[in-house]
């Protein structure tokens, strides 16, 4: 199944890392898009189910990117209810952004498979852009990233690749009832990732691996909300235990090309000056 040019696509979390990139691709292709956000009209809020009907009105396809993460308490119930309502409202195609190595995310995948929708699942590893568009950015700018993770490699995925796969799943045939496990082409540790960023910027940037309890205290001292702290610690100490070290080939399966390497992301991002250094 593929959407036609007059079909409307709802992009939930439409201002997020993957959502805004997907929306840009759909708009550039001349496809009608509805951005799912609290500030949009009609508004869309994952936490306010009364907004769902308006956001789904007239929609034939949906990109489902739950915020903040499918691992948070209550996420499964919320996403399951949304899937059901979206199909009932007439959405035929649902593309779910899932989390690699997360048991809660896999339950959300099962809930989507149980619907009558034409589904595609994008099971993604850690985003490369977490180093430049999320809470890793400020520590890198300050010269040290400290995370309670061991020397376990992670095949970071560029969100540009996720957006490309989502666009293909929404607009081209051949992706029905497919699960794509999306990673980068190689795995590297967080220390190695930081070293690549340091080399590209010409700066001295350190990496430290404090105990989880010390990291929790640091988050509290930084006034990070308790629920956010718990989510971050869960992901860092549970998902990054080696279960995701294996490189997968979902980008190649979906697009017929290799995924972008972390070094390409670093080179392009360093050139923007966001990390400071020789390119600032």
In this predicted structure, the answer to whether residue 200 has a pLDDT above a threshold of 90 is yes
Taking the C-alpha atoms of residue 194 and residue 136, their distance in angstroms, rounded to an integer, is: 10
Which of these ranges, 51-65, 78-92, 145-159, 212-226, has the smallest mean pLDDT?
A: 212-226
- Average pLDDT of 25-53? 97
Model pLDDT, residue 239: 87
**With pLDDT > 90 as the criterion, what percentage of the chain qualifies?**
85
Which pairs count as long-range contacts for 104-108, CB under 8 Å and 24+ apart, including other chains? 104/70, 104/71, 104/75, 104/76, 105/70, 105/71, 107/76, 108/66, 108/70, 108/75, 108/76, 108/79, 108/80
Q: Which tens digit of pLDDT belongs to each residue from 118-160?
A: 999 999 999 999 999 988 999 999 999 999 998 999 999 999 9
Model pLDDT, residue 280: 44
In this predicted structure, the answer to whether residue 227 has a pLDDT above a threshold of 90 is no
Which of these ranges, 76-80, 190-194, 211-215, has the smallest mean pLDDT?
A: 211-215
Contact 154, 244 (CB under 8 A): yes
- Average pLDDT of 229-242? 86
Strand order in the sheet with 33-36: 33-36, 8-12, 59-64, 93-99, 118-124, 178-182
Domain residue limits, the chain: 8-126+157-183+245-260
pTM, whole model, 2 decimals? 0.94
In this predicted structure, the answer to whether residue 65 has a pLDDT above a threshold of 80 is yes
Residues sharing a CB contact under 8 Å with residue 3, sequence separation 6 or more, in sequence order: 9, 31, 60, 61, 93, 170, 171
CB-based burial of residue 207 (10 Å sphere; 0-12 exposed, 13-18 middle, 19+ buried)?
buried
Which CATH superfamily groups domain 8-126+157-183+245-260?
A: NAD(P)-binding Rossmann-like Domain (3.40.50.720)
| pLDDT tier, 2 (very low <50, low <70, confident <90, very high otherwise) | very low
Q: Torsions phi, psi of 87, nearest 5?
A: -65, -40
DSSP reduced 3-state for 249 = coil
Model pLDDT, residue 1: 43
Tokens standing for 169? Answer: 């799943």
| pLDDT tier, 5 (very low <50, low <70, confident <90, very high otherwise) | low
Residues sharing a CB contact under 8 Å with residue 165, sequence separation 6 or more, in sequence order: 122, 180, 182, 250, 251, 254, 255
**With pLDDT > 70 as the criterion, what percentage of the chain qualifies?**
97
Count of CB atoms situated within 10 Å of the CB of 202: 13
Taking the C-alpha atoms of residue 67 and residue 44, their distance in angstroms, rounded to an integer, is: 12
3-state SS string over 138-196? HHHHHCEEECCCCCCCECCECHHHHHHHHHHHHHCCCCCCEEEEECCCCCECHHHHHHH
Q: Which tens digit of pLDDT belongs to each residue from 40-63?
A: 999 999 999 999 999 999 999 999
Mean of the per-residue pLDDT values for the chain? 94
Contact 63, 11 (CB under 8 A): yes
């Amino acid at each position: 199944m593929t959407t036609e040019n007059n079909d409307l696509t709802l992009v939930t979390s439409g201002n997020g890392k993957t959502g805004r990139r997907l929306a840009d691709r759909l708009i550039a292709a001349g496809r009608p898009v509805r951005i799912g956000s609290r500030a949009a009209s009609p508004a869309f809020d994952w936490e306010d189910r009364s907004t769902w009907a308006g956001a789904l009105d007239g929609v034939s396809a949906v990109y489902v990117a739950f915020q903040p993460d499918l691992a948070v308490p209550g996420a499964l119930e919320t996403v399951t209810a949304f899937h059901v309502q979206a199909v009932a409202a007439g959405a035929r195609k649902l593309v779910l952004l899932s989390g690699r190595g997360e048991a809660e995310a896999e339950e959300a995948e099962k809930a989507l498979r149980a619907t009558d929708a034409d589904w595609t699942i994008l099971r993604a590893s850690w985003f490369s852009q977490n180093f430049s568009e999320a809470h890793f950015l400020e520590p890198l700018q300050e010269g040290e990233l400290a995370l309670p993770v061991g020397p376990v490699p992670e095949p970071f995925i560029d969100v540009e690749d996720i957006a490309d796969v989502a666009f293909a799943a929404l607009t081209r045939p051949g992706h029905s009832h497919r699960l794509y496990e999306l990673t980068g082409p190689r795995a590297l540790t967080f220390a190695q990732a930081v070293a690549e960023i340091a080399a590209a910027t010409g700066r001295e940037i350190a990496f430290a691996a404090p105990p989880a309890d010390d990291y929790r205290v640091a988050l509290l001292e930084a006034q990070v909300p308790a629920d956010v702290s718990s989510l971050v610690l869960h992901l860092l100490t549970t998902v990054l235990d080696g279960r995701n070290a294996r490189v997968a080939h979902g980008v190649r399966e979906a697009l017929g090309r290799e995924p972008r390497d972390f070094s390409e992301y670093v080179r392009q991002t360093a050139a923007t000056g966001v990390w400071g250094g020789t390119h600032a």
